[in-house]
Amino acid sequence: MTHAGQSLAEAVAAKDHDAVRALLATDVDFRALTPGRPWEASTPDEVLEILFGRWFDDQDEIVALLAVDTGDPVEDTERVAYRLALRTPDGDFTAEQQAYFRTADGRITHLRMLCSGFRPSAPRAGAHPVEATP
């Protein structure tokens, strides 16, 4: 069975709204921190608006999922860290996100995320593209 954190990283990297929505409980408790501000949401649609309307908008291409690390849970709380290669109108960037989450009935009910922000990077040789979703 795939780890929910791995699935979340892959869904975010593919900008797959439906896959992210399917991972989240209808009453998800979401809090996040980026370099510029804190974020809160309580529904999958609100989380999607933050992820793909604010953090990774239409002009931001996620070129590759560079790394995913799922560690041992902290009691009832799981974690995932993932790194993304990005291309925006302003150039190439790398971003890393750490997430701590709890699940019930196979869906994420509690999600805390921390983002490094988009950090300038050199073009990456050998980066593996993520399949785009329509």
Establish if 12 belongs to a structural domain: yes
Calculate mean pLDDT across residues 104-121.
Answer: 96
Cα separation, 110 vs 30, in Å, equals 6
Give how many domains the chain has, as a whole number: 1
- For the chain, the average pLDDT equals 91
Its domain, for residue 59, covers 4-120
Establish if 27 belongs to a structural domain: yes
When pLDDT is cut at 50, 70 and 90, the band that residue 71 belongs to is confident
Establish if 125 belongs to a structural domain: no
Structure token pair of residue 41: 């949401």
Establish if 131 belongs to a structural domain: no
Establish if 91 belongs to a structural domain: yes
For residue range 77-95, list pLDDT tens digits in order.
999 999 999 999 999 999 9
CATH number at residue 84: 3.10.450.50
- Return all residues near 5 (Cβ < 8 A) that are at least 6 apart: 68, 70, 78, 79, 80, 99, 101
- Judge whether residue 131 has pLDDT over 60: no
- Return all residues near 23 (Cβ < 8 A) that are at least 6 apart: 4, 7, 8, 11, 107, 108
Establish if 64 belongs to a structural domain: yes
For residue range 27-62, list pLDDT tens digits in order.
999 999 999 999 999 999 999 999 999 999 899 999
Establish if 63 belongs to a structural domain: yes
Establish if 22 belongs to a structural domain: yes
